[in-house]
Chain A
Amino acid sequence: MIYVLSIVSFAGLTVVLSAGLIIAERFLINYGICKLDINAGEKPLEVEGGQTLLACLYANEIFIPSACGGKGTCGHCKITVLSGGGPVLPIETPHLTRKEIRSGTRLACQVKVREDIYVRIPEDFLNVKLFSATVLSTRSVTYDIKEVRVKLNDPAEISQRPGQYVQIQAPSPDGPVFRAYSISSAVYEPNEVEVVVRLIPGGVGSTYVHNLEVNDPVVFTGPYGEFRLNEDPSVEIVCVGGGAGMAPMKNIIYSIYDRWPERSCWLFFGCRTTKDIFYLEEFKELERKHPSFHVVYALSDDLGPDEKWDGETGFVHLAVDKYLESEKPRQAFLCGPPLMIEAVTRVLEEKGIRSEDIFYDEFK
C-alpha cells in the first residue's frame, strides 16, 4: 500500500510540476515573430522567436553544417551575427578565437532568436540543399572501410567542387544527428554521391553507413567545404592521405583527369599494413592512362611474415620528401590524422609550397 501511495503521489506531483512549467513556458517564452535578415537583405525571413538560430535556419532550408545536433560541442555551425544575438555564451568560447569573437562569429546552435536579428552567412551555405537518395551499391574496400554509392532522387543533381563534403543524417538514441563525409565521386557524376567510410567502433554515423543496404533511403545535406581547386593547369596538385582519408582525393584526382588529361598530380597515401591498402589497382590503372599522374603508397608498420610489398615503407611524409622536387607551383590537399597533417605540412613547406596553398581535412 505504502509503495503504491508513494508512487502515485510522486507521479502526481511530477505531473503537476511539469504542467505548471509547460503553462509558464507558453506565456513566458513567447517573443512573437522576429525578423531574420541574411546578408543585408538578400534573404529576409520571418521566424518565430524563442528557438535557436540554427533551428530557424533549418526550418527555412538553410543548412548550416552541424555535427553534434545543436549541443555546442562540434563548433561547425559558425556564422556571423551582426546584431541581435546577445552576448557570447560560455559554452561557445572554447570554439571561438578572440578575433572571431570580435568580428561577431557565433555558434548558430547557441544563439536564441529573441529580437530582430541580422546575420551574415557564407554564400556556399546558401547553396546547400537537403537531398534524398537511395543506396545504389555498397562495397567493402578493406576489412573496416566501406564504399557506399547513392543515387540522388530529390533534387536529382548535386553541383559540388572536389574536396567538398556532405552531412549524412544518421539515427541515434537522441534523435537524428548529422555526420560529415567527403564526397569521393567525381564532379562529372552529378546524379550520384559516393562516400568512403571507416567503421569506428561505437560511432553513430559510421555504424549507420556500414549497415546500409542497396535500395535503403538516405538523407543528407550538402555540399559543404571551402576548398577550391586551382584552375591553372600548370599548377601541380599534391594529395596526401592517411588511414581512411581517401575520399576527397579520389574526387579531386578523377575530376582533374576528366578536365585536364595532361595535368601533373601526385597522390601519396599512408597505410599501416597491406590489409589497409585500397584503391591501389584503380590508381595504377589511372597512372597507366595518364603518365603525368603518380601514385605512391607507403606502409608504416613492419611487414608481417606472409605479406608482400614492393612499394615505400615508413611514414607517408618521408615518401613525400623523397619524391617531390623543390620549388614548383603546387597546391596541396591533405586528409588524415592530425599528426600526419602536421608532419606533411612541414615537409611541403620545406619544398617551397606556401601555407595558403595547403588545405587539409583533419580527422579528430
Chain B
Amino acid sequence: MSDTSAIVILIAAILTNNILLTNFLGMCSFIACSGQIRTAMGLGTAVTFVLTMTTMINYCIYHFILVPGGLEHLQFIVFIAVIAAFVQLVEMFVERFSPKLYFALGIFLPLITVNCAILGASLFMVIRGYNFLQSVGFGFGAGIGWALAIILMAGLRQKMRYSNVPEPFRGVPIAMIVTCVLAMAFMGFAGMVTIQ
C-alpha cells in the first residue's frame, strides 16, 4: 500500500511518470492522431475522461467484486470489458452532443478501447496498491499526461511541416525521434516527485 497523497500522485503521473513518455503506452493513437492540435486536444480530452472514469469503475469492481470473490485472475478480461463498454457509451455521447468532435476523431474514438494506456493505468493501480482517492488521482493524472504529450507532439508536428526533414525520415520515423526527444526532455522532471 502506497501512502503518497493523491495530489502528489496526480502531479507525478503528469510529469515524472508520464504514462506515454516513460511507459510508452498508448503509442498507436499518439502517432496516428497527432497531426493537428485540434484533433489532439479532442482525443486527449476523450482519453482523459475515459481514463479517469475507468480507473474509478475498475477500482470499485476490483476491490468490491473480484477481491472478495478471490477472482483477481479475472482482472484483465474484466478491465477490458469495462473499458470497451465505457468507450461505447462515450462514443454515443460524443456523437449526440458534439458531432464535430465525433467526425474529427473518426475511427480513433472507438480505438480508445484498445489504447493500452487505459488498460495500463488500471493495472498500475492494482500493482501499486492505490486506494480509491489515489486511483482517481492517478487515472486523472495519467490522462492529463497523455493529453499533454499528444498536444505537445501535435504542436511540434505542425511546426515540423515547414522543416526540411530528410526524405527517409518523413512521417512516422521523425515522429518517433521527436517522441524520444520529448521523453528525454521530460526526464528533466525526474526526482521532483517519485511514486511507486
A residues with CB within 8 A of B: 2, 5-6, 9-10, 13-14, 17-18, 20-21, 24-25, 28-29, 86-87, 89-91, 114
Select which of B66, B82, B93, B103 is within 8 A of A17 by beta carbon.
B82
Number of B residues with CB within 8 Å of any CB on chain A = 23
B residues with CB within 8 A of A: 61, 65-66, 69-71, 73-74, 77-78, 81-82, 85, 88-89, 92-93, 95-96, 99, 103, 106-107
- Cβ–Cβ contact B70 & A2, under 8 A: yes
State in angstroms the CA–CA spacing of A127 and B77 once bound together: 51
Selected A-B contacts with CB under 8 Å, 9 pairs: A5-B69, A5-B71, A9-B66, A10-B77, A10-B78, A14-B81, A24-B89, A86-B99, A91-B107
Which residues of chain A come closer than 8 Å to B81, judged between CB atoms?
A: 10, 13-14, 17
- Cβ–Cβ contact A90 & B106, under 8 A: yes
- Cβ–Cβ contact A24 & B103, under 8 A: no
- Cβ–Cβ contact B92 & A29, under 8 A: yes
- Cβ–Cβ contact A18 & B85, under 8 A: yes
State in angstroms the CA–CA spacing of A90 and B70 once bound together: 45
State in angstroms the CA–CA spacing of A20 and B86 once bound together: 10
Which residues of chain B come closer than 8 Å to A21, judged between CB atoms?
A: 85, 88-89
Select which of A5, A24, A87, A90 is within 8 A of B92 by beta carbon.
A24
Select which of B65, B85, B93, B96 is within 8 A of A9 by beta carbon.
B65
State in angstroms the CA–CA spacing of A20 and B99 once bound together: 22
Instruction: Knowing A20-B89, A21-B89 are in contact, say whether A6-B96 is a contact too (CB < 8 A).
Output: no
Select which of B70, B74, B96 is within 8 A of A10 by beta carbon.
B74
Which residues of chain A come closer than 8 Å to B66, judged between CB atoms?
A: 9
- Cβ–Cβ contact B93 & A89, under 8 A: no
State in angstroms the CA–CA spacing of A5 and B93 once bound together: 34
Select which of A9, A20, A24, A87 is within 8 A of B74 by beta carbon.
A9
- Cβ–Cβ contact A28 & B93, under 8 A: yes
* Nearest CB on B from A114, distance (A): 7
State in angstroms the CA–CA spacing of A24 and B92 once bound together: 8
Instruction: Knowing A17-B82, A17-B85, A20-B85 are in contact, say whether A28-B106 is a contact too (CB < 8 A).
Output: no
Which residues of chain B come closer than 8 Å to A90, judged between CB atoms?
A: 106-107
Which residues of chain A come closer than 8 Å to B95, judged between CB atoms?
A: 28-29
Instruction: Knowing A10-B78, A20-B89, A21-B85 are in contact, say whether A89-B99 is a contact too (CB < 8 A).
Output: no
Q: Which residue of A lies closest to B104 (CB)?
A: A87
